[in-house]
Amino acid sequence: MQIDHLFFTFHFFHLLIFFTLFYQTTAQFDPDCKWRDNVTSVDEIAHHKYQVLEDCLYYKLSRDADKLQNKGNALMLLPPTVAAGETLDLEVMDVVLRQLWINEVFKEMNMNGFINLSWKDRRLRWDLGDYKTDNLNIKSFGKIWVPDINSEKYQTASSSSDYTAYQGINAKYTGNLTARLEFRMQAECEVDYSDFPNDIKHCCFNLRSTLFKYYIKYFLIGAQNGLNVENLRSNWHIVDSWVKKTNQDGDIKAEQLEICVTARRKSSTLSIELLIPVTVSALLLIIAPFFGKFKEQVNVKMFSLLIQFLAFQLLVNKTPQVGFGEHVPKIYLFYAFTLSMTVISLILTVIIAAVGRVQRKVPPAHRYTLLANVLNANICCGMEETPNTDGTSKDSSSDWLQIHVAVNNLISLLVLIIYVIGAIVIIF
């Protein structure tokens, strides 16, 4: 009997401890946060207790949504509308571009940024006086229904690098929701190489809903002026950008967002690196007649030609691996034009110099000799030798030489005028 009594006492003591702990745990567990009735302001609540209040509010709204739509987890699985034919107005508040870089080989632009969105969900309404808070922070976008906005390649590309994710979802007691849709997109580009190395790339990508393409309607509230690029980190300058609504694959009932960026490369150092050599060679071409005799002029022009070939080789090394396609950059036209004018000027100078070495017995007409002397004295400062115009010498090579010098000076002046006009036309 004594052993049975001790055994009974032992079990009774353990049952007493169990019921005591169970009562205390049950008393402390308050799934509806009834203690909130004694709170007048959320500022009086500790941070960890405010998190409990938000959880209570969320589960209360979730239970109400299940009853409203007659389905479990309705707040997570079903869109907020109930009536047939009703649509969801999705407001695009802002599109922010934070980073971009370009794959030169595949002509693709990778863009990182986010879109501020807003919509209404009637299931996320509550009495402000009951829960004492006007905001509900949704810690995970999987806890509520959100628009399935993603890339047009999201459903078709098995290895697509496009990515979208909702962050910072916040609900107001009125049922208004705001969220930040983070994105990383790979946009296809059309490249204009006309101003290479300051080439321009026009790149676009689309964001759309696949499951609810007839249900979601987009409204551009703050994004009609283009992308926000104030904090953009890139070596590209944004020339233009826009966000607009378009149709999905020609379906006028299905809307999508088209986001486009026109960017110009920031490469002042590369431009200087490519332009300085050819500019120096062009300068040598222009001032070659001032070096005097034909031999010096030919040497200067040949040296200018050498610099142009070396500069052109440098330019080729900077060319994209896949080339320029149908576009011919202005800098290539400028190089080719400068090279052509140098070759033409060199050939003409060599021919005139060769003709000037021929000995002639018959003197030229006196008016041509006088005109040559005037031109040589005013147009250019170079002379082959002191002219002899008295007409008494049997060897008239000197007079003819001065005429050849004058012709070379006129041709040099003409080359200068053509080159300047051509360079202005190409550049502008």
Q: Find the range with the poorest average confidence among 25-29, 313-317, 362-366, 421-425.
A: 25-29
What is the per-residue pLDDT for 217? 93
Which parts of 126-197 are beta strand (E)?
135-138, 149-151, 163-172, 174-192
One CATH from 2.70.170.10, 2.40.50.140, 3.40.50.140, 1.10.274.10 for 80-266: 2.70.170.10
What is the per-residue pLDDT for 83? 77
Token pair 């400068």 in the structure block, residue:
338
Q: Is cis: bond before 197, omega within 30 of 0?
A: yes
- Neighbour tally for 145: CB within 10 Å: 21
Mean pLDDT (whole number) for 346-373: 83
Rounded Cα distance, 67 and 419, in Å: 83
Q: Please, which residues have CB within 8 angstroms of residue 39's CB and are 6 or more apart in sequence?
A: 45, 132
What is the per-residue pLDDT for 182? 94
Token pair 């929701």 in the structure block, residue:
177
**DSSP summary character for residue 364:** P
Q: Which of 391, 392, 394 is closest to 365 using CA atoms? A: 391
Rounded Cα distance, 67 and 83, in Å: 16
CA 26 vs CA 21, 51, 54, 237, 270: distances in Å: 8, 20, 20, 63, 74
Task: Give the pLDDT band (50/70/90) at residue 321.
Answer: low
Q: Encode pLDDT of 284-308 as tens digits.
A: 888 888 887 888 888 988 998 888 8
Q: Encode pLDDT of 115-152 as tens digits.
A: 999 999 999 999 888 888 888 988 877 889 999 998 88
Q: Encode pLDDT of 199-248 as tens digits.
A: 889 999 999 998 899 999 999 987 777 888 887 877 788 888 999 999 99
For the chain, the domains span: 2-64, 80-266, 269-427
Q: Which two tokens stand for residue 252?
A: 């006028």
Query: Taking the complete model, does pTM exceed 0.85, yes or no?
Result: no
Task: Give the pLDDT band (50/70/90) at residue 29.
Answer: very low
What is the per-residue pLDDT for 43? 65
Residue count of the chain, please give it: 428
- Neighbour tally for 289: CB within 10 Å: 26
What is the per-residue pLDDT for 121? 93
- Neighbour tally for 288: CB within 10 Å: 26
**Residue 119: strand pairing partners:** 177
